[in-house]
Structures are given as C-alpha cells and as structure tokens.
C-alpha cells in the first residue's frame, strides 16, 4: 500500500510503497476514507516532538473496516468507524474513572502495537505509526478498542475531523472546562482545533466569545464559527485587548496553539475566579512562567485537557449526531482537499496559516 513516511525531521514526508500485515487477535484493519492535516503531525515533522523514525504520521481519520482479527466483536467488515488516537485498556485506574484519554494500562512503545510489534514494514524494516494509527496511508491496523463504529450516512471527511479537531476543541469546552451558559470565553489560536473551541462555546451558549490570532483570515474564520469579537495579537498586546473588551478579563481562556508565551497570556487574560485551559500541545521541553500570587488572590484555575478529555465511544457518536442536527459545523471547516501525493502541500499551507482545516481524501 501507499503511505506518507517521515524519514527525517525537517524534511517533507515521502510517499512510499510499504507492506501492511493482516490484523492479529484483538486488532482491526481499516481502509482509510479521509484523514486530516493537523498541527500535531506538523510538530513531529518539524522535530518539535521526537519519538523515533521512520514513522507514518496521521492521527485524525475515519475509514471502513476491512478485516477483523480473532476475538474482535466490537466491529465487523463494512462498518464505518472514527479512529481514536488514544488506546483504552478498559481496566486501569484512568479508564475506570472514564478518563481513558490518559489510559495507563499499556507501558510499551506508543508507536507500535500493544504487543510491541509493528504491522507496517518497508523492505523488511519495521515502521513506527503515530498514535498506534498512522493514517497517512491507504490502510491501518489498529487495536479494536481504537476503532469506534458510527452511523453510515456521514461523509468520511466529517468523521475524520471528529476524530481529532472537533473532539479536542468541543470536548475542551464541555468535558474539561465545563463552560456555563452566559460566561465569557477567549480562544487564543483559531486553527482547526481553536475553531472547534469557538463553536463548542457557542454550543453551550457562552456569552462573549473572543477569538485571538495573529492572522486576519483566521479571525474571519473565527467569526464564521461563532466568535462575537476578534483580537489580532500582532496589533497590540492580546491580553490588554481582551481585558479592555471585557472590563478585566474572561471567565475562561483557552490556549489552542501549544506555545509557552500564549499559555502565559491565557492565564493573564482570565478574570478573578476564572479558568485558563491549555489545549494546544507545546513542543517538548517548553516552559511558561506565572505569578503565583495571582493564583491565590484571583483564585485562578489552570487546567489542561488532552483530546477534549473525551470518552470516544460516547463522545464520537454524540458529536456525529450534533453535526447531523446542524448544531456543529464540520464540513465548513474543510478549506482544502488533497490526495495523499499532495500531503506536503497540505502541511505547507497549514504552516502558512492559509486553511481552517485541510483533509486528505482517498478514492473510494
């Protein structure tokens, strides 16, 4: 099959012919229908995260179940599925708490199968796969628990985006921060994930929703997804502008970039009693600083959330229903479609901030 392989940091992905095995017990083979171009893949391409090479990237995806391994009863061939980029052993402390995003039941390599072996190979060499998925490929073999079946009348592109950007952004609002109706919200970073924080805030009837970015085209997208106000951080201090708009700060500030400086801004633009929520995933070994006194005197809360603190088996179908009911805009997030061969163009456009979201589609 064809796959996009990261061979060296800072280099384009290389489209190569690789071999994929059949699923073993407890595993599922999925034919990829669509997969999103997300900044998390880009962190790896740029070498901001290093977890080993060569690796097939891609973690925001949906497809059709092709084959199931022994003992798999949760899906069958022909099922449409959204792929979860986190495993869930189902029995560890965090899975039991309903916080399977942080599952600690597996201690092996996060870029291989649970048994420590690889299913994708190139000339006899094992390839790592991002998030035990590696969806920049025609097929994936994954643990059955990461393959979540959903209704069949939804486009693969929409399902793919629910697999990361929508769940991460909307989940940050509803599962992690639990934003109350009427409260004020700031969202720093209006890319694929940030726009979903914005529409999540709309979904729960937040009051003012202030979008912050450095690019006017992103702020225009933000308005389309429900922002009531916009702040361009390159024309004056973002914190001052948000404080001025709100008379002192917002109830909730979301950082959706993965940048130590904008995490500091999120803390600073939160009003007394407010919550700053880190959604963006920073490069490895980044740090931020804060004034500890404000945490006492303003009772500021600082929280983080991974993958929208989702329970994929519950949240994916709910987000699909909300989308089909017209309460979430997902199709509208797609600014560009690419073939797998065009994937590097997709990352160049993401890097330049040209798109809300780009999606790789596969011929059916």
Site string (304-323) toward ligand APR, x via CB under 6 A:
--------------------
Give the total residue count for the chain: 364
Whether residue 113 contacts residue 37, with contact meaning beta carbons closer than 8 Å, is answered with: no
Site for ligand APR in 328-357 (CB under 6 A): 350, 353
Determine contact, residues 147/75, Cβ cutoff 8 Å.
Answer: yes
Q: How far is the CB of 67 from ligand APR (least distance, A)?
A: 30
Nearer of residues 29 and 218 to ligand APR, judged by Cβ: 218
β partners of residue 211: 187, 230
Q: Which residues bind Zn ion (CB under 5 A)?
A: 38, 40, 60, 164
* Residue 193 binds which entry of ligand APR, Zn ion, none, CB below 5-8 Å type-dependent: ligand APR
Q: State the nearest-atom distance from the C-beta of 320 to ligand APR, in Å.
A: 20
Contacts with ligand APR by CB under 6 A: the residue count is 28
Token code pair at residue 363: 């011929």
Residue spans of alpha helices (H) in 188-310 = 192-203, 216-224, 238-246, 260-268, 292-297
32, β-bridge pairs: 63
End-to-end Cα, the chain, rounded Å: 15
Write the binding mask 17 to 36 for ligand APR: x where contact by CB under 6 A, - elsewhere: --------------------
> How many Cβ atoms sit within 10 Å of the Cβ of residue 112?
18
Catalytic residue flag (residue 84): no
How many Å is the maximal CA-CA distance in the chain? 62
Active site residue 92: no
214 binds, among ligand APR, Zn ion, none (CB under 5 to 8 A by kind): ligand APR
Binding mask 37-76 for ligand APR (x = CB under 6 A): -xxx--x---------------------------------
CB of 263 to ligand APR, least distance (A): 10
- Residues 154 and 161 sit within 8 Å (Cβ to Cβ): no
Confirm if 337 and 6 have CB atoms less than 8 A apart: no
Q: Using CB under 6 A, which of the segments 67-75, 83-91, 256-264, 337-345 binds ligand APR?
A: 256-264
Residue 241 interacts with ligand APR (CB under 6 A): yes or no: no
Active site residue 39: no
- Work out the angle at residue 219's Cα, subtended by the Cα atoms of residues 47 and 261, and round it to the nearest 5 degrees: 45
- Which residues face 185 on adjacent strands? 209, 252
**Measured CA angle at 290 (ends 287, 291), to 5 deg:** 155
Nearer to Zn ion, 40 or 275 (CB): 40
Q: Which listed range, 61-69, 133-141, 152-160, 187-195, lies at the site for ligand APR (CB under 6 A)? A: 187-195
Contact with ligand APR (CB under 6 A) among 95, 130, 193, 277: 193
Residues 51, 239: Cα–Cα separation, whole Å: 34
Site residues, ligand APR (CB under 6 A): 38-40, 43, 168, 188-194, 212-215, 218, 233, 256-259, 262, 279-281, 350, 353
Which residues carry out catalysis?
Answer: 38, 40, 43, 59, 164
């Amino acid at each position: 099959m064809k796959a996009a392989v990261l061979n060296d940091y800072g280099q384009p992905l290389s489209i190569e012919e690789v071999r994929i095995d059949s699923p073993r017990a407890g595993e599922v083979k999925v034919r990829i229908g669509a997969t999103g171009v997300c900044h998390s893949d880009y962190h790896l391409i740029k070498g901001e995260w290093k977890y080993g090479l060569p690796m097939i990237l891609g973690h925001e995806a949906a497809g059709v179940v092709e084959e199931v391994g022994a003992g798999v009863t949760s899906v069958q061939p022909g099922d449409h599925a959204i792929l979860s980029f986190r495993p869930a052993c189902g029995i560890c402390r965090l899975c039991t708490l309903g916080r399977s995003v942080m599952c600690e039941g597996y201690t092996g390599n996060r870029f291989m199968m649970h048994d420590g072996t690889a299913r994708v190979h190139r000339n006899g060499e094992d390839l790592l796969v991002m998030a035990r998925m590696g969806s920049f490929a025609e097929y994936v073999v994954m643990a059955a628990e990461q393959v979540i079946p959903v209704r069949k009348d939804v486009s693969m592109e929409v399902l793919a985006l629910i697999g990361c950007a929508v769940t991460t952004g909307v989940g940050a609002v509803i599962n992690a921060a639990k934003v109350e109706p009427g409260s004020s919200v700031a969202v720093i970073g209006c890319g694929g994930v940030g726009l979903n924080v914005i529409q999540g805030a709309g979904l729960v009837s937040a009051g003012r929703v202030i979008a912050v970015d450095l690019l006017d085209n992103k702020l225009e997208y933000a308005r389309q997804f429900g922002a009531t106000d916009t702040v361009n951080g390159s024309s004056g201090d973002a914190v001052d502008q948000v404080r001025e708009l709100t008379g002192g700060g917002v109830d909730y500030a979301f950082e959706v970039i993965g940048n130590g400086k904008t995490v500091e801004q999120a803390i600073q633009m939160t009003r007394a009693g407010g919550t700053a929520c880190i959604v963006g995933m920073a490069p490895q070994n980044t740090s931020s600083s804060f004034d500890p006194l404000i945490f006492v005197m303003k009772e500021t809360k600082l929280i983080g959330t991974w993958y929208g603190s989702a329970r994929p088996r519950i949240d994916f179908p709910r987000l699909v229903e909300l989308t089909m009911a017209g309460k979430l805009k997902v199709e509208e997030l797609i600014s560009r479609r690419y073939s797998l061969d065009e994937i590097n163009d997709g990352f160049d456009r993401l890097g330049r901030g040209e798109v809300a979201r780009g999606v790789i589609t596969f011929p059916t």
